[in-house]
């Protein structure tokens, strides 16, 4: 049973098509990166997954339920961080913890307290008095203690410095992630999540243009560095993308046998950013 199953999701806002037949699944134990350019429909996709809006058509189930209809029940098992700015600034830390532990029976108050104990965050502080980094730490402490089956992170480290970003993902991996849990992350900082993902979905213009497991990428995609005079050979093999570099031509291929390519130039595995530019950039 999939944690999340979305097929042919359509969503329009007036004339704008936000989702145009999006297909996506998340299974238990996966960490899925949802990556796409601005305006590709990532946020709309996440909002529909979280039951914040209703899709126009298509099938969507989150833990086997319709997220729009049963958002309140689902939020016991699913948790969500939009970005650093969404905690109520007027509230005090202990009041916020009280609130969450009262409305969410799965929330582990002790765990949250332990996480916060090692930070600079004081129980009596107002959230408006916390720094950006501390606010994220607090949000993360609340989310990690809610023992959700699915954690959705929408640009969670926006506006944070490098140190906090690193700690953020370390906490997510060490304190949250285990066999039966899943994570969906969107971010612009592809490099920062590349090493923690198990699966990746590239989104463009409202649909998924690539869905793959991270460990199948090296076998499927290759990057070739070749001399400029091999241009015609490269073109004859239908590269995903082709761009000039200082040393010659860099081409990325989907599904070509490595031995065919080794004749042309030096073959390596593209990293996620290169792949993203090749797949999404080639489309537009």
Partner 1 sequence: MNTWKALIKREWLEHRGGYLWAPIAIAIVIALVLILGLTVGDIRLADFADQARDATTEQHGDEVPLGERIDERLQEIAQDKDASGRKFHRGLFEVGKPFAVCFFIVTFFVLLATLYDERKDRTALFWKAMPVRDRDTVLSKLIMPVWIAPLVSVAAIVLAQVFVLIALSILLWGNGHITTGDIWWHAGLLRGAFEWLATFATWGFWSLPVWSYLLLVSSVAPKAPFLWAVMSPLVVAAIEWATFGSHHVLRFISGHMVTDATVVVTDNPNAGTSIYANLGSLWASGSMWFGIALGVVMLVAAVYFRRRYSEV
Residues that bind partner 1 (CB under 8 A): 13, 47, 50-54, 68, 71-76, 79-82, 85-91, 95, 98-100, 102-104
With beta carbons less than 8 A apart as the criterion, state whether 205 and 22 touch.
no
Radius of gyration from C-alpha coordinates of the chain: 21
- The residue assigned the tokens 């989104």 is 203
- A 10 A CB-CB count for 284 gives 7
Q: What is the DSSP string of 23-38?
A: EEEE-TT-EEEEE--T
Residue 200: CB minimum distance to partner 1, A: 24
Cα Dmax for the chain: 68
From the centroid of its chain, how far is CA 178?
17
With residues binned 3-state (H G I as helix, E B as strand, rest as coil), the percentages for the chain, rounded to 5, are: 35, 30, 35
Nearest by Cα to 197 from 183, 216, 209: 183
Query: Distance between CA atoms of 202 and 122, rounded to whole angstroms?
Result: 40
- Runs of H (alpha helix) within the chain: 42-49, 71-74, 93-103, 109-117, 132-144, 162-171, 190-194, 217-220, 231-236, 258-262, 272-276, 282-283
Nearest by Cα to 48 from 78, 86, 14: 78
- The residue assigned the tokens 């209809």 is 69
With beta carbons less than 8 A apart as the criterion, state whether 138 and 93 touch.
yes
């Amino acid at each position: 049973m999939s944690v999340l199953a979305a097929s042919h999701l359509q969503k329009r806002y007036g004339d704008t098509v936000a989702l145009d037949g999006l297909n996506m699944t998340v299974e238990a134990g996966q960490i899925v990166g949802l990556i796409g350019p601005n305006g590709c429909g990532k946020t709309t996709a996440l909002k529909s997954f979280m039951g914040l809006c209703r899709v126009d058509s298509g099938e969507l189930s989150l833990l086997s339920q319709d997220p729009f209809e049963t958002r309140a029940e689902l939020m016991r098992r699913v948790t969500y961080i939009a970005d650093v700015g969404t905690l109520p600034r007027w509230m005090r830390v202990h009041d916020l913890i009280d609130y969450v532990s009262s409305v969410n029976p799965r929330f582990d108050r002790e765990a949250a307290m332990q996480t916060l104990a090692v930070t600079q965050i004081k129980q009596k502080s107002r959230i408006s008095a916390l720094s950006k980094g501390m606010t994220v730490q607090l949000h993360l402490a609340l989310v990690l203690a809610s023992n959700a089956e699915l954690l959705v992170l929408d640009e969670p480290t926006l506006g944070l410095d490098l140190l906090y970003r690193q700690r953020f993902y370390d906490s997510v991996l060490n304190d949250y992630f285990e066999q039966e849990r899943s994570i969906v992350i969107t971010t612009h900082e592809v490099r920062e999540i590349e090493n923690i993902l198990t699966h990746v979905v590239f989104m463009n213009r409202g649909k998924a243009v690539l869905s793959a497991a991270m460990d199948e990428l090296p076998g499927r995609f290759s990057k070739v560095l070749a001399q400029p005079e091999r241009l015609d050979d490269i073109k004859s093999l239908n590269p995903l993308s082709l761009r000039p570099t200082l040393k010659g031509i860099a081409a990325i291929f989907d599904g070509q046998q490595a031995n065919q390519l080794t004749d042309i130039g030096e073959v390596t595995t593209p990293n996620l950013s290169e792949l993203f530019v090749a797949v999404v950039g080639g489309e537009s």
